[in-house]
Amino acid sequence: DIQMTQSPLTLSASVGDRVTITCRASESISGWLAWYQQKAGKAPKVLIYKASTLESGVPSRFSGSGSGTEFTLTISSLQPDDFATYYCLQYYSYPSPWTFGQGTKVEVK
Amino acid sequence: QVTLKESGPALVKPTQTLTLTCTFSGFSLSTTDMRVNWLRQSPGKAPEWLARIDWDDEKFYSTSLKTRLTISKDTSKNQVVLTMTNMDPVDTATYYCARSMVTTLHFDYWGQGILVTVSS
């Protein structure tokens, strides 16, 4: 299985900060990566897919980049609603399994 | 509007079989391109993909759990059923169903999840 490694696992930040989360794949996954936001007690919500495509309705302060084995999620100006846990998902391996990173918790500094 | 909702028991005993149902609306599993997946998330952990069924009835399972899982669909009822045999306390988790499509691949719509506790 392809392993996904996120860093950092915890990030302390303030409203207005620029935040960057990294996800590394154990082998090349081309651009088949998505980013999800999850709040406590809720299902994950997709923010970015195909590494850099913003899901409809997601604020433009979220952006994704990368290809191959290294990817980043950037929040340009952190808002109060953005404190949550973020997961990357690779969906390159066919037909299965698709794997998530361990998650990055963005908390209040 | 696409919605999915999981249903099933909140508590199962060790060694029992878990049966979960995903009831969805806003799309049809008889439409080319559509897929429904099951995932689970143990407390404090990342989600884990379990199984998928496609519009053409192709089925795929997690390598580590494939001997315990069965996925099926009832297109007329807009339902997908997952069974997991020989439940163990380590299987305690929130179970989600989620849609994906051949064209975009990622999980775009998720159900609210159902917490299943395995305990005697």
Q: What is the pLDDT of residue A96?
A: 66
CB A34 within 8 A of CB A43: no
Rounded mean pLDDT for each run of 10 residues along chain A, 109 residues in total: 94 97 96 96 96 96 98 98 97 83 96
d(CA B111, CA B104): 18
Percentage above 70 pLDDT, chain B: 100
Chain A residues close to B106, C-beta within 8 Å? 34, 46, 49-50, 89, 91
Please compute the mean of the pLDDT values over residues B113-118 and round it to a whole number.
Answer: 98
Please give the biggest Cα pair distance in chain B. 43
Q: Could you tell me the two tokens for A43? A: 């299902």
| Interface mutation vs chain B, best among A98, A100, A104, A105, most B CBs within 10 Å | A98
Chain B residues close to A49, C-beta within 8 Å? 104-106, 108
Q: What is the pLDDT of residue B26?
A: 96
CB pair distance less than 8 Å for A34 and B106: yes
- The residues pairing with A34 across neighbouring beta strands, listed in sequence order, are A89
How high does pLDDT run on average in chain B?
96
